[in-house]
């Protein structure tokens, strides 16, 4: 029975449905992820495992597997590349948490808190190198090009984010450029290598690249809204982190676009000058309420989700296709 | 006129002789290095230029060029890979300086002091990705394998170094393992890709790999001695850095191997407990005098230099070969 004909028993959460549909594949990819984070230097797998074994959604490797299967690849080849994609993601998380001085990740102390900044930077470097070793073992220069390009763009996005932080003049276009680079680029690459593995044509690669890009945009905008709206326990990290850091994300940019002079002073003090009191986060949430900032941010995310789904239009009907369409909506509506 | 027949006018410093012999090539490689560190995000070339344009010896890209020419390659192909090697090196320097909280590099404030830790980590990530983009553009999976393997080993070496720091039980074998990974691996890789570019055989690759490894070992041991013995101005960084950080390098390990009980307490306090007074560095230098630690360290470095030279034995006589042999001695006897 082909994947296209397989019926899905789980209902509701498309990420769980995708994991269930690709359960055998994900088991193999996960085993490879755990195996490949090995090093003779015990601290390296310890730090890597802290993040990788702690769970996480594994959405990027799932996308690689899904997009390879979607174009007819039934080989074991995507496993190594799914692991490479997850390692690049994990490396960026390790470095991000050092840069943001984060204290929590996936519901527990972040690696920088437990193992220190030095180990986090170096194990990030190791996982990044290991990702390239996995790509080299696979042997496709196209895949190497797609993922090395994405990696360069990710670091550009992170630098842009550094520079827009605490700048209340940041425009929505600048914000979208940042998240396109820091998040959507890896989603796009993870999806694009699927048809490459399956030897599908350029058109298929472009379609999956665009699907991944739009999914990543929807995912990140929703993430930035969840940072204000989520239940902290479900999210697995502290709510209001972006606010405390003065990160310029969709909600603040929307609120600023219609701020009263008094509110403008509020954002200037809290985000630009980073001078905050405990009353400020509740006040920010009040302003979001008045300006409809979170709802309007969700609308933006839904727009991207729709664009993601439309990239699947040319594909024949299949369970996998249906789930990937649902996944775009789920990226926006998830509660963590 | 082939390179082998070309006579060299500069005398004395083999690094300058090598730069002179390969002047046209190095000019092209340098131009590519400056061009390829470009990004639309201005902070990225700013940070990269701070380190790259500040000079540095460019020894690793020179080695790639030299080892390609040594095996008869006369194409422009090594330029991109020489740039890739320099970018990997620069990325590790950026991350190292964050990890070591260094304040000086190449005679001026280090990038982390000028641009902050966050930018240093991210621009390191960018240069690392850019290095892989350059390798992908070159298109050799062998080169990609050699340099991705080396990159993984470098980060392992850095983690090992974290763990041996402040541990006065560190053995000479452990120290050599650390520097083999953190330094010699990239020297070995930079040399090995030369014959790969020139389509030389496996034996040539192995010979250049071993030459580079031994050269890198000699270079790093000398570096660790210079950290105590150099003229700070010539070295371009503060003398005694390793002492202040409690890094376990050759001089301390040699001194510890014949320490009196009082000296053992001294090393325990200064290196393990990192409790230091301004009198401690002069006292350390006195102990090195008594135990002949710096001279004996130099002997170790010279041993590696000899091993490096012997790897060149199978090659026909040429100016390039003679300079590479001299370079091994220079790596030990340089004053900065």
| Nearest neighbour of A156 by CB, restricted to B41, B151, B160 | B41
Are A192 and A162 a contacting pair, CB within 8 Å?
A: no
Determine whether the interchain pair B152/A139 forms a contact, defined as Cβ–Cβ distance below 8 Å.
no
A44 touches chain B (CB under 8 A): yes
CB-based contact, B16 to chain A, within 8 Å: no
Check B151 against A129: CB less than 8 A apart.
yes
What is the ipTM metric for this complex? 0.93
| C-beta atoms of B125 and A160 within 8 A | no
Confidence of residue A218 (pLDDT cuts 50, 70, 90): very high
State the nearest Cα–Cα gap between A131 and chain B, in angstroms.
Answer: 9
Q: pLDDT-based confidence at A41, cuts 50/70/90?
A: very high
State the DSSP H helix or E strand holding residue B307, giving kind and residue range, or none if neither: helix B293-310
Q: Looking at residue B102, what is its pLDDT?
A: 80
| pLDDT of the residue at B9 | 43
Interatomic CA distance for residues A176 and A303, integer angstroms: 13
Cα A50 → chain centroid: 18
Q: Using CB atoms, which residue from A123, A149, A156 is nearest to B126? A: A156
Name the residue range of residue B267's domain: 14-333
Give B2: exposed, middle or buried? Use CB within 10 Å, 0-12, 13-18, 19+.
exposed
Is residue A167 over pLDDT 60? yes
What is the value of pTM for the model shown? 0.93
Contacts of A122 in chain B (CB under 8 A): 95, 99, 155, 158-159, 162
Q: In 3D, which of A314, A326, A327, A323 has the Cα closest to residue A201?
A: A314
Measuring CA to CA, which residue among B95, B83, B89 is closest to residue B119?
B95
CATH number at residue B238: 1.10.600.10
Neighbours of B156 (CB within 10 A): 25
CB contact under 8 A, A145 and B133: yes
If you search the block for the tokens 């100016």, which residue do you land on? B319
pLDDT tens digits along B140-183: 999 999 999 999 999 999 999 998 989 999 999 999 999 999 99
Residue B9 lies in a domain: no
Is B103 in contact with B113 (CB distance < 8 Å)? yes
**Residues within 8 A of B (CB atoms), A 109-138 only:** 117-119, 121-123, 125-126, 128-130, 132-133, 135-136
Sign of the four-CA dihedral B292, B294, B296, B298: negative
Residue B5 belongs to a domain: no
The answer to whether B6 touches B18, Cβ cutoff 8 Å, is: no
In this structure, is residue A179 part of a structural domain? yes
User: Are B122 and A159 within 8 A, CB to CB?
Assistant: yes
Contact B144 A132 (CB under 8 A): yes
Query: Is B287 within a domain?
Result: yes
* Number of domains making up chain B: 1
- The tokens of A261 are what? 């002079």
Split at pLDDT 50, 70, 90, the class of B5 is: very low
Inform me whether the pLDDT recorded for B6 exceeds 70.
no
**CA distance to partner chain B, nearest, from residue A156 (Å):** 7
Query: Residue B50 domain-assigned?
Result: yes
Residue B2 lies in a domain: no
In a domain, A8, yes or no: no
Interface size, chain A vs chain B, as Cβ–Cβ contacts under 8 Å? 129
* Distance of residue B141 Cα from the nearest chain A Cα, in angstroms: 6
**Does B151 contact A at CB distance below 8 Å?**
yes
pLDDT for residue A151 is more than 60: yes
Residue-wise pLDDT for B286-315, tens only, equals: 999 999 999 999 999 999 999 999 999 999
Partners of B48 on chain A (C-beta within 8 Å) are none
Please give the DSSP secondary-structure letter assigned to residue B238.
Answer: -
Question: Is B272 within the bounds of a domain?
Answer: yes
**pLDDT for A306:** 98
CB contact under 8 A, A156 and B117: no
Pairwise CB contact (< 8 Å): A148 & B141? no
Q: Mean pLDDT across the stretch B245-265?
A: 96
Asked whether the beta carbons of B149 and B205 are under 8 A apart, the reply is: no
């Amino acid at each position: 029975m082909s994947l296209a004909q397989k019926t899905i028993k789980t209902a509701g959460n498309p990420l769980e449905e995708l994991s269930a549909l690709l359960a055998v594949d994900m088991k193999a990819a996960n085993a490879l992820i755990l195996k490949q984070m090995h090093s003779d230097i015990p601290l390296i797998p310890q730090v890597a495992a802290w993040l990788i074994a702690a769970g996480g959604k594994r959405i990027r490797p799932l996308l690689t597997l899904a997009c390879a299967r979607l174009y007819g690849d039934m080989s074991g080849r995507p496993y190594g590349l799914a692991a490479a994609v997850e390692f690049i993601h994990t490396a960026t998380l390790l470095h991000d948490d050092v840069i943001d001085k984060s204290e929590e990740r996936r519901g527990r102390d972040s690696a920088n808190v437990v193992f220190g900044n030095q180990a986090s930077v170096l194990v990030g470097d190791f996982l990044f190198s290991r990702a390239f070793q996995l790509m080299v073992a696979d042997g496709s220069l196209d895949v190497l090009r797609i993922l090395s390009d994405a990696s360069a763009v990710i670091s550009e996005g992170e630098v842009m984010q550094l520079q827009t932080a605490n700048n209340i003049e940041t425009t929505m276009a600048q914000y979208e450029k940042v998240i396109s680079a820091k998040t959507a680029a890896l989603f796009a690459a993870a999806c694009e290598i699927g048809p490459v593995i399956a030897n599908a044509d350029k058109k298929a690669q472009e379609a999956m690249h665009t699907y991944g890009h739009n999914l990543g945009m929807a995912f990140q905008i929703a993430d930035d809204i969840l940072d204000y709206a989520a239940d902290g326990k479900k999210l697995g990290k502290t709510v209001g982190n972006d606010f405390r850091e003065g990160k310029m994300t969709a909600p603040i940019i929307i609120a600023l676009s219609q701020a009263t002079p008094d509110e403008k002073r509020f954002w200037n003090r809290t985000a630009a000058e980073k001078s905050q009191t405990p009353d400020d986060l509740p006040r920010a949430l009040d302003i979001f309420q008045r300006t409809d900032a979170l709802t309007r941010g969700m609308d933006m995310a839904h727009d991207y989700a729709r664009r993601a789904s439309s990239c699947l239009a040319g594909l024949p009907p299949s369970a996998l296709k249906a789930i990937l369409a649902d996944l775009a909506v789920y990226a926006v509506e998830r509660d963590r």
